[in-house]
Amino acid sequence: MPMTPKRLFCFAVYPTIVLVVGCGRKADGAAEGKAHESRALAQGPSLHEPCLERRGRIERSEHAAGEFPELQRVFELSGREACRAIDLNRDGRPEMFEYFDEHGELRRREMTAGDSARVEAVDFFANGKRIRREYDTRGVGQIDTRDYYNVASGERVRRERDADGDGKVDQWSVWHDGKVTTTVDRNGDGMPEPDSAVTTDSKADDFVAASKK
């Protein structure tokens, strides 16, 4: 079932109380995009960038009373923190992964489905500021929606979406002055149809259902 962005965003504070040191393996990943182009969105069996599988040292932190999420921090051999895995509901598997660049700045955050390890949304950051969010709304391991953000204000400004699942952008949304206007490509030529524009209140933070008929 398609997911809306609202269900995904969880934030937590995780104090270090118990440390357990372990080991893991290796990693890589990232991408960028542009609006009003009928081009393929990310394809592949998994959206997850390896974290606990990386080579290095793992520190495991856990609150004794069980009221805070479990945190596993992965350090490279150089001592730099590469990423962390956070178990928000303490069910034994992480619901959030965060990744850091060589300067220690957050560069990527993954959020998984509540009942599985499948990644549903990925945030990308530049200099600690979110610039893009990508979604797998169909739960098939492929990106079908991208949101772009104004770095200064932190507000979402536009969206690209593959509404029919063929791997190409066919729906575009633009946010402005509290409204969102969405246009669609009905004939598959890679361009939005001028008469397809639908404008709604942007406070409804959901996917705009613009008809392709």
Q: Exposure pattern of 68-92 as b/e (b: 16+ CB <10 Å)? A: bbbbbbbbeeeeebbbbbbbbeeee
Q: Which of 25-39, 69-83, 101-115 has the lowest mean pLDDT?
A: 25-39
Euclidean distance between CA atoms 68 and 16, whole angstroms: 10
Q: Per the domain annotation, does 68 fall within a domain?
A: yes
Q: What is the pTM of this model?
A: 0.72
User: Region 189-212: what's the mean pLDDT?
Assistant: 73
Q: Per the domain annotation, does 3 fall within a domain?
A: no
Whole-number CA gyration radius for the chain: 19
Q: DSSP 3-state assignment of 110?
A: strand
Which residue range forms the structural domain that includes residue 194?
12-201
Q: Per the domain annotation, does 206 fall within a domain?
A: no
Q: Per the domain annotation, does 118 fall within a domain?
A: yes
Give the pLDDT band of residue 54 (cuts 50, 70, 90): confident
- Looking at residue 97, which CATH number applies to its domain? 3.90.930.1
Nearest to 3 by CA among 165, 136, 158, 111: 136
Q: Per the domain annotation, does 5 fall within a domain?
A: no
Q: Per the domain annotation, does 32 fall within a domain?
A: yes
Q: Find out whether 111 and 8 touch, Cβ atoms under 8 Å.
A: yes
Residues 6+ apart with CB under 8 A from 210: 163, 171, 182, 183, 184, 196, 198
Number of structural domains the chain divides into = 1
